């Protein structure tokens, strides 16, 4: 490979949509072309993107919400550069890293209450899978209650508590012991909880798919 990685990448820029059509997801490419989103972005900074024709875009999608501090934030870039340049001993596994300990300390201080420990995950859906396992293991119960229109990720456990048939169909039987309640319906939730079979109730206070927000007093 070319020693200049960015130059090597740039050589192939005009093939991006063809590459994805052939090797990644042709339906997605077709959709982007249909709605005119088949741009060639060349730069991202904060909340903005620029394409190869110099047009500037305000990116409301933010990578489905992952760019809370914007793209290529100078502080994040500076720390990543420092870490890479120091050849830090990452992921030793049989070891306790200072960094994850500090992150756990900051998170628990921020959250407050009696939550003093953190379980680190790589993605939203992995976090939900872990929450289901912790709840079932701790309570000895099986059921997980979820809401209509809920979205918690796309792995099998998280999909089992997805409130839209569209996401679940064609994958056969998912995780057993899940029970759906209407969003913001307190009596339906109380009925389910009264059965004493629930290990957990998993909820988005602001639903990503329906855009509904919990009513006062629901939580
Ligand atoms: C509320 C909620 N939970 C879980 C997920 C899944 O996260 P990930 O895509 O990182 O697996 C999402 C993703 O949009 C989400 O909105």
For the chain, the domain total comes to 3
Q: Which atom of ligand 1 is nearest to the CA of 123?
A: 10
Q: Which atom of ligand 1 is nearest to the CA of 126?
A: 11
* Helix, coil or strand: residue 30: helix
Pocket lining for ligand 1, CB < 6 angstroms: 64, 123-125, 128, 151-153, 204, 208
Task: Give domain status of residue 26, yes or no.
Answer: yes
Nearest CA to ligand 1 atom 15: 152
Query: Is residue 89 left, alpha or beta, with left meaning phi > 0 and alpha meaning psi from -120 to 50?
Result: beta
Q: Dump pLDDT digits (tens) for 123-176.
A: 999 999 999 999 999 999 999 999 999 999 999 999 999 999 999 999 999 999
Q: Is residue 21 located within the same domain as residue 47?
A: yes
Strand order in the sheet with 48-51: 41-45, 48-51, 56-58
Q: Is residue 140 located within the same domain as residue 108?
A: no
Q: Is residue 71 located within the same domain as residue 106?
A: no
Q: What is the DSSP string of 101-119?
A: HHHHHHHHHHH-TT-----
- pLDDT band, residue 90 (cuts 50/70/90): confident
Say how many CA atoms lie within 13 Å of 89 toward its Cβ.
7
Q: Is residue 172 located within the same domain as residue 197?
A: yes
Task: Give domain status of residue 219, yes or no.
Answer: no
Domain boundaries, position 105: 92-117
Q: Which atom of ligand 1 is nearest to the CA of 150?
A: 1
Q: Is residue 39 located within the same domain as residue 57?
A: yes
Q: Dump pLDDT digits (tens) for 177-216.
A: 999 999 999 999 999 999 999 999 999 999 988 899 999 9
Q: Is residue 131 located within the same domain as residue 180?
A: yes
């Amino acid at each position: 490979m070319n020693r200049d990685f960015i130059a090597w990448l740039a050589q192939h820029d005009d093939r991006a949509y063809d590459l994805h059509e052939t090797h990644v997801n042709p339906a997605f490419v077709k959709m982007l072309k249909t709605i005119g989103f088949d741009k060639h972005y060349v730069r991202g900074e904060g909340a903005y993107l620029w394409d190869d024709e110099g047009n500037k875009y305000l990116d409301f999608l933010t990578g489905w919400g992952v760019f809370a501090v914007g793209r290529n934030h100078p502080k994040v870039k500076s720390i990543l550069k420092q870490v890479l340049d120091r050849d830090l001993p990452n992921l030793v596994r049989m070891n306790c890293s200072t960094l994850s300990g500090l992150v756990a300390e900051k998170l628990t201080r921020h959250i407050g209450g009696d939550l003093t420990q953190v379980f680190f995950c790589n993605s939203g859906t992995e976090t939900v899978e872990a929450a289901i396992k912790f709840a079932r293991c701790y309570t000895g119960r099986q059921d997980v209650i979820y809401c209509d229109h809920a979205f918690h990720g796309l792995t099998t456990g998280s999909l089992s508590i997805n409130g839209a048939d569209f996401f679940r169909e064609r994958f056969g039987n998912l995780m057993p012991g899940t029970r759906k309640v209407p969003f913001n319906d307190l009596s339906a939730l109380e009925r389910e909880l009264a059965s004493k079979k629930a290990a957990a109730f998993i909820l988005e206070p602001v639903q990503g798919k329906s855009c509904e927000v919990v009513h006062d007093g629901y939580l």
